[in-house]
Structure 1
Amino acid sequence: MNYQELAQKIKLWGQELGFQKVGITDVDLSQHEAQLQRWLDLGYHGNMDWMARHGMMRARPNELHPGTIRVISVRMDYLPPQAKFASDLDDRTQAYISRYALGRDYHKLIRNQLKKLGQKIEQEVGQFGYRPFVDSAPILERPLAQKAGLGWAGKHSLILDKEAGSWFFLGELLIDLPLPTDEPQINQCGKCTACMTSCPTGAIVEEGVVDARLCISYLTIEFDGIIPEELRSKMGNRIYGCDDCQLVCPWNREADISKEASFFRRDIFQNASLIQLFQWNEPEFLKNMEGSAIRRIGHIQWLRNIAVALGNAPYDAEILEVLQQRLGLSDNLDIHIQWALKQQQQKQQDIEANLARNAKLERLVRIIRKGLPRDA
């Protein structure tokens, strides 16, 4: 079998299936094991127990799927048209949702396309061993993508490509065919630290290392507990994920818009006011989030995230009203609602104090003017 020719065909088939880039690598990730263990030992994985539970299997794809000797790594762009980064972040009355989650859940779509790629290869070579993965197994997908030539690891730990930036999903097809491997890209971040300095919570603790416990994406998606009070004000109006480290990256300036309609912004998120989203009951949440990655966090965590954002929003009497209406659903949620109520009440007091000061100044001006000559 001409494996070089087969590799070229696989890349072509991948593009026909909607992947913007396809690369091939071996399964040796031994150089990443010490870094992975250090990250776990420092507790940077937070409450994501599965990270530690699977141990070094994450760095050993051949243990995950015995017989694997190569990994086909794929990229699918997700940046939606009219991303509206600035307007969504600047208007604190609107909800900011990470751009990857504005449309349909990517897991099933990419997994199905990877399965089709495996079937296409099977039609060419006969029966062989393969298994697709999309965030569905303990595997170090970013180091694999880097080795497969899909990009380099940025200082925010995401994979960067000089043509696509970092606005893309990754997926893997583990196979038992000895295909030729691709060359990794050269790291081109240079001295730039924009992603590190722009992180609202300082979660990028060193180059390429993220402390998940500080990361807004982790706090709003993976973490279902009580968000540390000192981090709540830093979350702003980000209710599901965070894109700040990507927004400032120079390599993302020319990133292509996704052609996959499944990733386009849902109509319900066109003008997603925090008050409106907070008033969804559980059946409404489940219905409106059908087919969305957001659905998996559940209604209570959804409300918890929005409660924090409402606390960070400008004062609005209606916010006080809708927050009070949600008290009593769960102890966890109540803690965040009570915090948000205090934030809103403090802003109300500040506004009233400013109005009182302004009124006092106006009275003083009038008094002074009464005592001045008419031509003054």
Structure 2
Amino acid sequence: MSEAQNSGSALGGMIRAEAAKLGLDAVGIARLADDAELTARLAHFLSENRHGDMDWMETHADRRAGPLRLWPDAKSAIIFGQSYAPPANPLDALRDRSNAAISVYAKGRDYHDVLKKKIKSLARSFSERSGAEVKVFVDTAPLMEKPLAAKAGLGWQGKHTILVSREHGNWLFLGAILTTAELEPDAGTEDHCGSCRRCLDVCPTNAFPAPYQLDARRCIAYLTIEHKGHIAPEFRGPIGNRVFGCDDCAAVCPWNKFASAATEIRYAARPETDNPPLAELLALDDAAFRLRFAGTPIKRTGRDRVVRNTLIASGNSGDRSLLPLIEPLMEDNSALVRAMAIWASRRLASDAEIDALRKRYEAREHDAEVAAEWNLPIEELR
């Protein structure tokens, strides 16, 4: 082994030891190179408009196509994973439709904060010891972490496009250090999906046009978190009580693992995010929303979209006791909220109650898209 290889191997060992001390569950190293296949897959995804209104993906497509587009001098990527495995199957939350189902990843502290502090600390130590330059990434730049994580041996991208780990299942937060150091790379992990297609078949909105391909425009996680506009009627029923994100395709994977006691302590759900009653979320104004969800990923989406989603969940709940909480939202400042207040009311109220609500509110509405909800065909309410 050459002196350079010995140095790269020693540095790799130091990284793994420090990562373990910081409570990071997985570490892998990949040598950086242009990847024509990855570039082509990204180009196809964007050309099909499967990114929806996530315009930032297209704006930075040239840089997203590979790490060397971001930093030509980088030689290696160090990829870190931290488990956020839940203690039980998150699909259990779909049974009680009077409560909001919130994706596992959003129930605790914002993972950007959780990971970045640890990785920055590690990057400083590594740079001081190696003399190499470093840059830290935790989902804050156009870096495609999942393909790098697969190349670094943390797992493989399943048919649902999520990274799957043999040790940690589908539940890994990812972060990266790019560095000018030439480190000894790890072997990539083979794809172990085989003929299984549980993740594809479970999707309520058919968001996978083919294995290993995702159409974000049909994905409940995208619709409830990233999508800034009205949610199309065809998706409202399938959303069920999912108010923030969707865990279905991840939760059914046979490689899944659920949390150990140590993992639960590292990334515990907060009581206010652990599938709260819909009634509590309907009552949130902007100030109360910010207070309740401070420090979580939910806060970044904003009150209006979360209440929009909660109204869809309310319409799907069959719970008429929510109607007194829904009616005031027909006069909300947000068009997103007013539209779904109409939709939810039409799902829950009697014909006589709907007629009374229409007389009270329809003439006051000056937004054409919101007003159209009063005349949505009955078959689109089901």
Task: Tell me the TM-score range normalised by the shorter chain.
Answer: 0.7 to 0.9
For 1:113, the equivalent position in structure 2 comes to 118
Equivalent position to 1:75, from 59, 81, 84: 81
Look up the SS of the partner of 2:168 in the other structure. Answer: coil
Equivalent position to 1:13, from 11, 18, 22: 18
| Mapped contact 1:78–1:167 kept (Cα < 8 A) | yes
For 1:264, the equivalent position in structure 2 comes to 268
Once the two structures are TM-superposed, the CA of residue 255 in structure 1 deviates from its matched residue by 5.9
| Mapped contact 2:206–2:218 kept (Cα < 8 A) | yes
For 2:322, the equivalent position in structure 1 comes to 319
Look up the SS of the partner of 1:73 in the other structure. Answer: strand
1:177 maps to 2:181: yes
For 1:167, the equivalent position in structure 2 comes to 171
For 2:133, the equivalent position in structure 1 comes to 129
CA deviations 1:338-357 (Å, max 9, x no partner) are 111111126999xxxxxxxx
For 2:360, the equivalent position in structure 1 comes to none
Q: 1:269 to 1:192 in 2, by over 3 A?
A: same
Q: List runs of 5+ in structure 1 lacking aligned partners.
A: 350-376
For 1:250, the equivalent position in structure 2 comes to 254
For 1:26, the equivalent position in structure 2 comes to 31
For 1:40, the equivalent position in structure 2 comes to 46
Normalising by structure 2, we get a TM-score of 0.87
1:271 and 1:50 map into 2 onto residues whose CA distance is 30
| Mapped contact 2:85–2:264 kept (Cα < 8 A) | no
Count of aligned positions: 346
Once the two structures are TM-superposed, the CA of residue 86 in structure 1 deviates from its matched residue by 4.3
Amino acid across the alignment from 2:237? S
Look up the SS of the partner of 2:255 in the other structure. Answer: helix
Point out the more displaced range, 59-68 or 292-301: 59-68
Normalising by structure 1, we get a TM-score of 0.88
Amino acid across the alignment from 2:146? R
Once the two structures are TM-superposed, the CA of residue 282 in structure 1 deviates from its matched residue by 1.4
Q: 1:272 to 1:71 in 2, by over 3 A?
A: same
| Mapped contact 2:330–2:339 kept (Cα < 8 A) | no
Equivalent position to 2:244, from 240, 245, 254: 240
Once the two structures are TM-superposed, the CA of residue 238 in structure 1 deviates from its matched residue by 0.2
Amino acid across the alignment from 1:259? T
Look up the SS of the partner of 1:79 in the other structure. Answer: coil
Amino acid across the alignment from 1:321? P
For 2:341, the equivalent position in structure 1 comes to 337
1:33 and 1:274 map into 2 onto residues whose CA distance is 42
CA deviations 1:9-49 (Å, max 9, x no partner) are 21121121111111011222332111110010001000001
| Mapped contact 2:77–2:177 kept (Cα < 8 A) | yes
For 1:189, the equivalent position in structure 2 comes to 193
| Mapped contact 1:203–1:210 kept (Cα < 8 A) | yes
Which of the pair has more CA radius of gyration?
1
Give the share of equivalent positions with the same residue, in percent: 36
2:78 and 2:323 map into 1 onto residues whose CA distance is 52
Once the two structures are TM-superposed, the CA of residue 151 in structure 1 deviates from its matched residue by 0.3
1:3 maps to 2:8: yes
Q: 1:270 to 1:141 in 2, by over 3 A?
A: closer
Q: 1:292 to 1:347 in 2, by over 3 A?
A: farther
| Mapped contact 1:80–1:257 kept (Cα < 8 A) | no
| Mapped contact 2:167–2:257 kept (Cα < 8 A) | no
